Amino acid sequence: MTERASASPYLTIKNDLLSQIRSGQLRPGDAVPHEETIAQQYGVARATVHRAMRELAEEGFVERKRRAGTRVAAVGGRTTKVDIALVRDEIERTGAPYRFEILKRDILSGDPFGQRILRVDANQPVLYLEILHFAGERPYQLEERWINLDVVPSAETQSFQASNPNEWLIETIPYAEAEHKFSAQNANAHQGAALDVPEGEALFVIERRTALDAKMITYVRMLHPGQTYAMAATDFSLSTKN
């Protein structure tokens, strides 16, 4: 058994089906009995079966269509969940003390990259920050951040003493929408020097664009030495073959 049995009928049903799918008793394309049928088998209400099935569908194990019924989904890839924690938490979880240093802080007025990425007009000022995050004495992450001062003007005068810019932004605009991209790039001379790795070293890069109501708030690049950094993903669901 891959998950522990549970008291809740809906979880029992869900886990039973999951076992049958994983064991190969139910193969992709096979029909799963109707909700009504399963309800009678287990002696529960249809709503209870429905919840089990809905969750299995959300997790990608089955596909459901009205009138057509429920079938085991065709596997065509995988979907995983990735947690991107606050650097501070990530570092302190390892036991190392956290601190950060602001390496650069500029108001850019004619920066085409920042203006394009934040979707602001020319001559709109943009705050650029370069921050180095330390795990103990080791540089852990180099952060390159652009902030849209049009949306968050108070960032201009912030000292970022207790909270680093990311933490401060989260306090200010907690529930902005974000878009992430992960990639690998070679460290240039400046990045290598900051992170204390040779130029050319492979860096693991997380990019994040944060917006609220179609207004860009900030764009950030988080660079990690590839030798020491790895991002873990927890198995979440399966994606269908389309």
Partner DNA sequence: TTTAATTTGTACGTATGTATT
Partner DNA sequence: CAATACATACGTACAAATTAA
Helix (H, G, I), strand (E, B) or coil at 116: helix
The answer to whether 37 touches 28, Cβ cutoff 8 Å, is no
Work out how close the CB of 107 gets to a second copy at its nearest, in angstroms, rounded to a whole number: 26
Structure-token pair, residue 234: 């927890």
Distance CA 70, CA 134 (A): 51
Residues 35 to 74 in contact with a second copy, rule: CB under 8 A: 61
Residues in the chain: 242
The CB-side HSE value for 234 (13 A sphere, CA atoms) comes to 5
Contacting residues for 68 by C-beta, under 8 A, at least 6 apart: none
Residue 237 within binding range of DNA, rule CB under 7 A: no
Structure-token pair, residue 169: 């932004």
Work out how close the CB of 242 gets to a second copy at its nearest, in angstroms, rounded to a whole number: 9
Distances (CA, A) of 46 to 12, 62, 232: 14, 17, 38
Q: What is the DSSP letter of 73?
A: P
Residues in the interface with DNA (CB under 7 A) total 27
Residue 161 within binding range of a second copy, rule CB under 8 A: no
Residues 51 to 80 in contact with DNA, rule: CB under 7 A: 51, 53-54, 57, 64-70
Structure-token pair, residue 103: 């390496």
Task: Name which of a second copy, DNA, none residue 162 binds, using a CB cut-off of 5 to 8 Å depending on partner kind.
Answer: none
Work out how close the CB of 1 gets to a second copy at its nearest, in angstroms, rounded to a whole number: 9
Work out how close the CB of 52 gets to DNA at its nearest, in angstroms, rounded to a whole number: 8
Distance CA 52, CA 17 (A): 9
Mark 1-30 with x for binding to a second copy (rule: CB under 8 A) and - for no binding. Answer: -x------------------xx-x--xx--
Partnered with residue 70 across adjacent β-strands are 32, 64
Residues 167 to 186 in contact with a second copy, rule: CB under 8 A: 170, 173-186
Nearest to 130 by CA among 193, 210, 204: 193
Residue 98 within binding range of DNA, rule CB under 7 A: no
Between 64 and 88, name the residue whose CB sits nearer to DNA: 64
Residue 1 within binding range of DNA, rule CB under 7 A: no
The answer to whether 76 touches 242, Cβ cutoff 8 Å, is yes
Residue 9 within binding range of DNA, rule CB under 7 A: yes
Residue 235 within binding range of DNA, rule CB under 7 A: no
Judged by the rule CB under 8 A, the positions of this chain that interact with a second copy are: 2, 21-22, 24, 27-28, 61, 75-86, 89, 170, 173-186, 200-205, 208, 212-213, 224, 226-227, 229-236, 238-239
Q: Tell me which residues touch DNA (CB under 7 A).
A: 7-11, 32, 34-36, 43-48, 50-51, 53-54, 57, 64-70
